[in-house]
Structures are given as structure tokens and as C-alpha cells.
Amino acid sequence: MINKFTHSNFHAICDELTIVDSDLAAIIKTHGYPPLWSRLNTFETLVHIILEQQVSLASALSALNKLRGRVQELTPARVLLLTDEEFRACYCSRQKTAYIKYLAEALLSGQINLQHFEDLHDDEIRAQLVTLKGIGNWTVDVYLMFVLQRADIFPIGDLAAVNALKRVKSLPNSTTREELLEIARQWQPYRTVATMMLWHYYLSAPKKANTLF
């Protein structure tokens, strides 16, 4: 059975997590419930996630809006008509331009089918997506969490989530990846929702603590 969260059970899952983790309970008490962040299962969404790799959310959105303005509707076929110069004018690096083109070609050729992912398990989806140039585990994590609402993902490569976890639990900067993953295991099978609580804290806490945005 595929483990998902929905608008109807999101707050109940948050409440369940507050019982097993007092630090998450403190986030809810101070900042309220997190938003249920979600995105459509489209080529445009995956392009957006690629653009968000290692840059600010604002920079990524600016590039996405430039691409939208250039092609009107962001589809694989239309994107492949753009020249490298046009991609540069849309604030896309040479590397990300290659990633977006590769993704477009994979969709047009039928190498991957986003609609089919709705019925596949997380590991099957990850195995298919990471074969594409420019798509690694962080991109897959965000896709599974935001688009497919898979409930048990902890994105260890996400700096905002990791930094929020360290601050909430007063952990030293030297805390290892394995130690962070072990902490996250207590939130199973709802690590995605716990992560959304961490992001909510990260965005709601005093800005001096938020170095990414």
C-alpha cells in the first residue's frame, strides 16, 4: 500500500507527531500547523524543482517565470525549440539547460511517464528518475513530497530541513548525516509531514537564523 498524506488527514498526522516528539509539538504550539505544500504532477513542476537546485527559491521562480513568458505553456516540445541563448536569457545555466532538455526528451520518448508514477512505490519512482541527467535524490525527494504527497520522506540533502532540525534539537554543526537520519526514524511513517513542520519552523523563526532565504 502506498503511504500518502492528504488535506483531510494532514493535521491529524501533525498531531500524532507531536505525541512522539516534543520538539515538533513546540513548533505547532508556537507557529501553528505548517502549510500543506503541493504542486501539480507536470513537466513544469519538475523543471521548477531542477531550477531550485542549489539556488534561492526566489531565483528559481524568476527563471521559471522567464521560461513561461518565452514559451507561454511550458511543455517538453516547446522547451526543446529554445536555443541555448534563449535559455540563458531566462537565467538558466548551461548545466540546468542540459538537464531540462534531457528531461523533455525523456518524457517525449516515453522513457518516463509522470502519470504512471501515481501508482508506483517510492523506490520504483526514484530508480527511474535518478537515471536522468541532473536528477538526484534531493530532486526526487521534493517531487515525492510536494507532488505525489508521499508521507515518509526525509530529504537529508535539504539544507533548510537539516538546519531546522539541528536548531530545534540544539544539535552541534558536527552532527553527522547518520545521526540526523536516526533522529528522523522516530517520525516514521510520517517523515514528510515532520519535515514540513521543520520547514514551517525554518520560515517562521527569526530571519537571522534563516540563511538560505
- Domain residue ranges of the chain, discontinuous segments joined by +: 10-35+152-209, 43-147
What is the tens place of the pLDDT at every residue in 76-97?
999 999 999 999 999 999 999 9
pLDDT for residue 62 is more than 50:
yes
pTM of the entire predicted model = 0.92
Q: What is the mean pLDDT of the chain?
A: 94
pLDDT for residue 209 is more than 70:
no
Quick one: average pLDDT of 114-119?
96
For residue 119, name the pLDDT band (cuts at 50, 70, 90). very high
Q: For 43-147, which CATH superfamily applies? A: Hypothetical protein; domain 2 (1.10.340.30)
What is the tens place of the pLDDT at every residue in 120-132?
999 999 999 999 9
pLDDT for residue 21 is more than 50:
yes
pLDDT for residue 207 is more than 70:
no
The residue with greater pLDDT, 213 or 164, is 164
Q: What number does CATH give the domain 10-35+152-209?
A: 1.10.1670.40
Sign of CA dihedral 10, 16, 20, 23: positive
For residue 192, name the pLDDT band (cuts at 50, 70, 90). very high
pLDDT for residue 210 is more than 80:
no
Determine what percent of the chain is predicted with pLDDT higher than 70.
Answer: 96
pLDDT for residue 213 is more than 70:
no
pLDDT for residue 212 is more than 80:
no
pLDDT for residue 208 is more than 90:
no
